[in-house]
Structure 1
Amino acid sequence: MANNAGNPNMELLIPMINQLQHIFTSVNAKLTLTLPQIAVVGAQSAGKSSVLENIVGRDFLPRGGNMVTKRPLVLQLITSQGQEYAVFGHKPQQRFINYADVRAEIENDTKAVVRDNMGVSSLPINLTIFSPHVVNLTLVDLPGMVKVAAQGQPADIVKKIDDIILEYISNENCLILAVTPANIDLVTSDALVMARSRDPMGKRTIGVLTKLDMMGKGYNAREVLLNKVVVLERGFIGVVLRGQRVDDFGRTSKELDIPGALENERQFFQNDPAYRDIADRLGVPYLQRSLSLQLTDHILKCLPELQRELQSRYRDLSKEVAEYQASAMFETSSTFDTKALVGLAHELHENFDTALQGTHLKESDLKTLTGGARIANIFRERFPFELVK
């Protein structure tokens, strides 16, 4: 894994891709690119939500005993100074300061789309969190896998969830964060089996082992974490999540808050003989940094192909406009739309091509609307006016 920590220009790559992700998914499906991202995959009880909350450092996801992730959640984390806040893609003008309100909005927007309380939808929720306590990172939380439909769930719920997951991980530019409890047989891990179906060589898969503290006395996952059991090119990272703890007398304690959970995790790895010598490569803080670096490195490798794909889409749109112009038919609103899009695609290509050079990327680029932010401005500010020309 390349280390880009010493190059501040690289820190702008993830925000730039975030801008493109938002634009291409909200403006027009014809311009959708296979953008680099990390999809979070795991069984319903694997601890996916806890991993995400510990990475963010906030309680913001719906809780419950049943399935709570019913739509893909595209979570974009942006390092920023000052007060932290969240913004939803469907409410871009509203800042959410209270994370209880963030959770409520996720629930409300989910209900607005998934009217069947036990169903799922492939329509994503886009959430961006700006905070000084996060690293630049984009994760897509996907519905947890189930083996059979529970009472009240649609009969085809298993297939629907699998189809949503496959839609993301079939993208060759998508890294797969496979979340698996350490207290199950790794060979039968739902997340790893699903990941292996689209990444048989394990090149795009990052393994995350949860519940290491629940394996029982005499058991540990050291060999797995050393990548000696199931081999993944990107390896495994172990974490200890929140939840009720059971002491030696069988008594349960109150669930820890996130800072308490992170400290508990640190002490667990430092004090356990099986993990003490590799503790610096375990835990949520290491996972957070590792994912950001891996995504940045992955984006760098994907940029040339993204550029070629964007050029191809531009040529397709240009051809479509030429066909309209050659036709004797009167111009419809669809014609106007396509002309507007091809004009914007041309400027989009020029800006994206400049951004891909990398040599002139700097913090002021985003502030003066170049690179990804410039592209966003083209679509958000100029698109409505192009349509009425």
Structure 2
Amino acid sequence: MAACEIGLGNQAILTKIDQLRELNVGTIIPLPQLVVVGDQSSGKSSVLESLTGFSFPRAAGLCTRYATQITCRREPERGVAQLLQFKREIPELNNDDLTKIFEEANNVMGIRMSTTGQEDGRTAFSQDILKIEISGPDVRSSLAPIRLRLTFSLQQDHLTVIDVPGIFRLASPGLTTESDIVLVENMVKSYMSDRRTIILAIMPCNVDVATQEILKLAEVADPCGVRTMGVLTKPDLATEKATRDAVVDLVLGRRSALKLGYHIVKNRSADDHSSTSSERLAAEKAFFTASPWSSVADRCGTTSLKARLQELLMSISKQEMPYVKKDAEQRLLECRNQLDAMGPCRADQTSQRLFMVKLASNFQAITQGALNGYYAGDKVFQMEPNLKLATKIMKLNEVFANVFWKRGHQHHFRSEQNDDGETLFGRAAADLPFAIPILQYPELGDIIDTEDYQCPKPLKGPITARIEEVFESSRGPELGTFGGTILAAIFQEQSEKWEPLVLSHTSRAIALVHDYIFQLLTKLCPENQVKENLWNILIVDKLRDAYRRAMDHARFLLAIERGGRPSTFNHYFNSNLQKQRSNRMCEALKTMAVCFTGNSNEYVPVSKISQYADNKANGEQVCEDILDTLVSYYQVSRKRFVDTICQQVVLHFLLEGEKSPLKIMGPDLVMSLDLEQLESIAGEDVDSKRQRQVLMWEIRSLEAAIKVLRA
């Protein structure tokens, strides 16, 4: 009873696998199966006939042009052979009826049967699968009458095998071509590569196994040899003793790297057209009783091969069943996600506009999170860290400010080369922790500065000498003071590096924003056609206009700050100017200071102070005043200008303003689309429709498969 229960359980597992194949799930996820491979004329058809009891029709060109799935199982009713795709049924298996059905199948699959060599648009082989189901009563059942012992009556347990075309190396003029050789080899490789497939490599005994290409292909697909079994055919053609001994060594495992080993079966002769299955089994059994085959009798004959294959198929089916279920559930989830990402079918104007509105809304929702630094609000930021726009922009502004503070001036102001703020801010990092795609988008080439500007250090030596040169070449009739043009000229020269610094910084910010928009649209538009049309037809020109506005404003601010008359109402200017003068006086008076005994304080006599004032030449005093004024104004202007660039150009024009490029992809844009634009952008192309159909078909098949697996 226990053995019977186990047999029923095995039958249920194999039946489930067959049901999954009927649902075509095997084209989606790999299923446990046996695949028969080998060269043409290696004896594959005879092996299949022995295993299944199914006699392939003997007519030229049949049964070798496509993969054939043969399923044998017991049913309570008398058996039929049914070609499922054509709904053909025949009560008896005879050569003439089968030949007719196979010819019809070849015609439907578009297979070229002519040998005239004329091109008619058909191929010699097909990657379609012909499924043959053979069912019959259990001959061991008490209900099975003796008269049902036909060719297709089942003498073995449930078995499903896949037959693929035999590989060949030379094309036959008028029948096969060089491309057919490649097609068949790729088809065989694809079946062998499935990790849940047991490979039956068919090879004749009268050839050297080491030269068999099918073994080389199997070794690539199954490097460890754990799911490949060698099946040796035509032992009666191995007439030399050395050949027979080599075959026996293979079967005994002495020359084999295959964990499943080798098995030997005897084919019926080419002239045998009338023998029955039982007669061939008896003849095969008698053949293998002779030496040297008797020494490996347990590995000889169809009966033992069938038992071994049933054991292997059952083993791999039991082992892989939980993983098949897991793969089916995982693939179903992926298909549903892909279909959800495609959105609803977009066959009319209403569905197309709804699709675009949803796309725009998702874009704005994610962008709001990217601008606010709220990255926990959408999982897209975990999947695509490059979309953390606020983090990148803040770091970019920080590096810009630091470099501007440390290196933005043309000359050092003091001889100590320790200008105000340099020591403090010079320690900050001047390198970005991420790359900027400044050259990745050619559409920006005529708008931004694509050169990687590296701001040089200030020139050595104080600016005093340069101030004197400008003063001597530009002084006016002023007495004891200087004209505004001198300060403007010195300031403009001292701020020469501001322009490349600002334009480079603005260009980098534009590249970051542009890359963000492109990457986000790529993420939100799984259909390449939607993204490309939306990008090229609608968005790029508007983005370019927005970037031009940002660059123009940066140049406007540069012209105002550097080209106009120096001006400020900031009280920090006067405070700093007084500080500069006080520091200068203190430095000069330190040389005149004296100390009294018992007192650590230093004192400067009044007479010395008057000497300090009297010893200044007119020109020297004016140049010192120019330097003090320049330092004070430069510091005010620098702080004001850096903040203005970051606030107006980057934050307003590029990120948050009403005309920001990030606001372009919004509902207003979608509602403004005319019918032609809407169809061009949101209408589904042929590839998208096909992808949707494939996903829907896979979902239906996988849902049905999971029901089968859970039953």
The alignment's TM-score, normalised by the length of structure 1, stands at 0.78
Determine if contact 2:66/2:125 at 8 Å carries over to the other structure. yes
Q: 1:243 aligns with which of 269, 294, 314?
A: 269
Distance 2:173 2:207 in 1: 25
Q: 1:41 aligns with which of 37, 42, 66?
A: 37
Aligned-partner SS, 2:334: helix
Structure number with the higher strand fraction is 1
Partner of 1:9: 9
- Amino acid aligned to 1:148: L
Distance 1:268 1:290 in 2: 20
Q: 1:75 aligns with which of 70, 73, 78?
A: 70
Distance 1:145 1:339 in 2: 35
Partner of 1:260: 279
The superposition leaves residues 331-354 of structure 1 with CA deviations (integer Å, 9 ceiling, x where unpaired) of 9998799679757745643x2452
Distance 1:151 1:243 in 2: 28
Q: 1:348–1:182: structure 2 CA closer, same or farther, 3 Å change rule?
A: closer
Q: 1:223 aligns with which of 245, 249, 265?
A: 249
Determine if contact 2:25/2:702 at 8 Å carries over to the other structure. no
Determine if contact 2:71/2:161 at 8 Å carries over to the other structure. yes
Distance 1:99 1:227 in 2: 40
- Are residue 55 (structure 1) and residue 51 (structure 2) matched? yes
Distance 1:61 1:201 in 2: 37
Aligned-partner SS, 2:230: strand
Deviation (angstroms), 1:103: 3.8
Distance 1:159 1:337 in 2: 26
Partner of 1:306: 324
**Residue correspondence of structure 1 range 276-295 to structure 2 within 5 A:** 276-295=294-313
Deviation (angstroms), 1:41: 0.4
Partner of 2:645: none
**Residue correspondence of structure 1 range 77-156 to structure 2 within 5 A:** 77-92=72-87, 94-100=89-95, 101-117=97-113, 119-131=124-136, 132=138, 133=154, 134-152=156-174, 153-156=176-179
Determine if contact 2:56/2:63 at 8 Å carries over to the other structure. no
- Are residue 184 (structure 1) and residue 180 (structure 2) matched? no
Aligned-partner SS, 2:329: helix
**Residue correspondence of structure 1 range 15-34 to structure 2 within 5 A:** 15-24=15-24, 32-34=28-30
- Amino acid aligned to 2:332: Y
Q: 1:179–1:63: structure 2 CA closer, same or farther, 3 Å change rule?
A: farther
Determine if contact 2:58/2:99 at 8 Å carries over to the other structure. yes
Deviation (angstroms), 1:122: 0.8
Determine if contact 1:145/1:161 at 8 Å carries over to the other structure. yes
Partner of 1:368: none
Deviation (angstroms), 1:230: 2.3
Deviation (angstroms), 1:74: 1.0
Q: 1:236–1:61: structure 2 CA closer, same or farther, 3 Å change rule?
A: farther
The superposition leaves residues 20-39 of structure 1 with CA deviations (integer Å, 9 ceiling, x where unpaired) of 1121269xx6xx22111111
Distance 1:94 1:67 in 2: 18
Aligned-partner SS, 1:318: helix
- Amino acid aligned to 2:327: E
- Amino acid aligned to 1:70: R
- Are residue 203 (structure 1) and residue 208 (structure 2) matched? no
Aligned-partner SS, 1:156: helix
Deviation (angstroms), 1:280: 3.1
Partner of 1:386: none
Distance 1:339 1:125 in 2: 23
Indicate the larger mover: 103-112 or 191-200.
103-112
Aligned-partner SS, 1:195: helix
Aligned-partner SS, 1:201: coil
The superposition leaves residues 185-242 of structure 1 with CA deviations (integer Å, 9 ceiling, x where unpaired) of 0101132122112112211111100011110042412111112212211111100110
Larger radius of gyration: 2
Number of aligned residue pairs: 339
Distance 1:56 1:11 in 2: 16
The superposition leaves residues 248-276 of structure 1 with CA deviations (integer Å, 9 ceiling, x where unpaired) of xxxxx877443322111100111x12121
Distance 2:211 2:45 in 1: 21
Which consecutive residues of structure 1, in runs of 5 or more, have no partner in the other structure? 246-252, 355-370, 372-389
Q: 1:239–1:305: structure 2 CA closer, same or farther, 3 Å change rule?
A: same
Q: 1:15–1:106: structure 2 CA closer, same or farther, 3 Å change rule?
A: farther
Determine if contact 2:232/2:264 at 8 Å carries over to the other structure. yes
Aligned-partner SS, 1:49: helix
Distance 2:6 2:299 in 1: 20
Determine if contact 2:82/2:133 at 8 Å carries over to the other structure. yes
Q: 1:166 aligns with which of 168, 186, 189?
A: 189
Partner of 2:606: none
Distance 1:70 1:315 in 2: 35
The superposition leaves residues 121-177 of structure 1 with CA deviations (integer Å, 9 ceiling, x where unpaired) of 111111111134242111111111111112222122211110110111111111111
Determine if contact 1:62/1:103 at 8 Å carries over to the other structure. yes
> Taking CA–CA contacts closer than 8 Å with sequence separation of 6 or more, which of the two structures ends up with the larger relative contact order?
1
Aligned-partner SS, 1:267: helix
Distance 1:346 1:49 in 2: 36
Distance 1:293 1:35 in 2: 16
Determine if contact 1:37/1:140 at 8 Å carries over to the other structure. yes
Deviation (angstroms), 1:283: 0.5
Distance 1:150 1:213 in 2: 28
Which consecutive residues of structure 2, in runs of 5 or more, have no partner in the other structure? 116-123, 139-153, 346-350, 357-682
Aligned-partner SS, 2:288: helix
Q: 1:344–1:185: structure 2 CA closer, same or farther, 3 Å change rule?
A: closer
Determine if contact 1:243/1:256 at 8 Å carries over to the other structure. no
Distance 2:103 2:179 in 1: 23
Q: 1:292–1:320: structure 2 CA closer, same or farther, 3 Å change rule?
A: same
Aligned-partner SS, 1:329: helix
Determine if contact 2:23/2:705 at 8 Å carries over to the other structure. no
Distance 2:125 2:701 in 1: 34
Distance 1:129 1:255 in 2: 21
Give the root-mean-square deviation of aligned CA atoms. Answer: 3.1
Identity %: 22
Distance 2:43 2:202 in 1: 7
Q: 1:11–1:231: structure 2 CA closer, same or farther, 3 Å change rule?
A: same
The alignment's TM-score, normalised by the length of structure 2, stands at 0.44
Deviation (angstroms), 1:94: 3.3
